[in-house]
Amino acid sequence: MTEQPSRRLLLVHAHPDDESINNGATMARYAAEGAQVTLVTCTLGERGEVIPPELAHLNGPALGRHRMGELTTAMGELGVRDVRLLGGPGRFADSGMMGLPDNEDPGCFWQADVDEAAALLAEVIRETRPQVLVTYDPDGGYGHPDHIQAHRVATRAAELAAAAGHGPARVYWNRVPRTTAEAAFARLGEELRGLPFDRAATVDDVPGVVEDERIDVEIAAGDTPYAAAKAAAMRAHATQIEVAGSCFALSNALAQPLFTTEYYELAAGQPLPEARATDLFAGLAADAGAAS
């Protein structure tokens, strides 16, 4: 068996582009440092809203194929080589936004049996032996059905893997501290005139905002190649994201800050050795999560 890197990170996301927005700088940092970084994306995002007019003809399977190409390019920017579609491409379809008829499609991720999907993810955990798993909180960050389902599937897969003796040592949720978000939006209000966006989003539009004391780890990219890699990865998802300077907008055309420091709440597993750690692996033994 090939020897595994001493640090192994698994991220579970709903659609192509979620990983770059939430964890791009983190992924770039750990990939550059030689950690094994594995991304599992649960759908191809076939029901996403397309921003560029020249790509507006893309929808359904054609959009899914295009977004997979965007994901490949984005991961090249971040230096991530291990990218997987849960159950293989097209196994679970995009569920659309909450409350739409798309949610009733029997082939969509929202309708998937959690244990069945979790078993597929548990197999990835068995193979890659991550010490750290990153995903969404129980609300999926902002209530999207595929994000909620990704949380459920990742949580259940971690339980299944733990029962088999190779669960992750820590599970984290993506977060943004409230004071950081508020300060960033205050600056954005002053900069909006120079951006190609007419209006700004609000703090309530940012997934995963919580009170500052809930933040356990922050990964600061600042003015580093990791911040630049994150912005480049987000640009690669051109059907979904428009990046302008230190800001970006989704299909609603509302500007929001591009956070180059990324934040995490420890949801389960081994406690951290310090408050506001700067390493997801802080205090973990190299073999944590690797037991067979």
Residues making up the annotated binding site are: 15, 18, 147
- What one-character-per-residue DSSP string does 196-257 give? S-SEE--GGGSTTEE-GGG--EEEE-SSSHHHHHHHHHHHH-TTT-EEETTEEE-TT-EEEE
Burial (CB count <10 Å: 0-12, 13-18, 19+), residue 219: buried
The Cα–Cα gap between 72 and 92 comes to 19
How far is residue 133's CA from residue 280's CA, in Å, rounded to a whole number? 10
H or E segment and range at residue 176: strand 170-177
CA distance 55 to 70: 13
> Coil, strand or helix: which one is 90?
coil
The CB density around residue 81, as the number of other CB atoms within 10 Å, is 12
Q: Find tokens 């990153």 and name the residue.
A: 134
**Residue list, annotated binding site for Zn(2+):** 15, 18, 147
The answer to whether residues 48 and 67 touch, using CB atoms and an 8 Å cutoff, is yes
CA distances, 129 to each of 19, 236, 268 (Å): 20, 29, 16
- Long-range CB contact pairs, 193-199, < 8 A, 24+: 194/245, 195/244, 195/245, 195/247, 195/255, 196/242, 196/244, 197/242, 197/244, 197/247, 197/249, 197/253, 197/254, 197/255, 198/253, 199/253, 199/254, 199/255
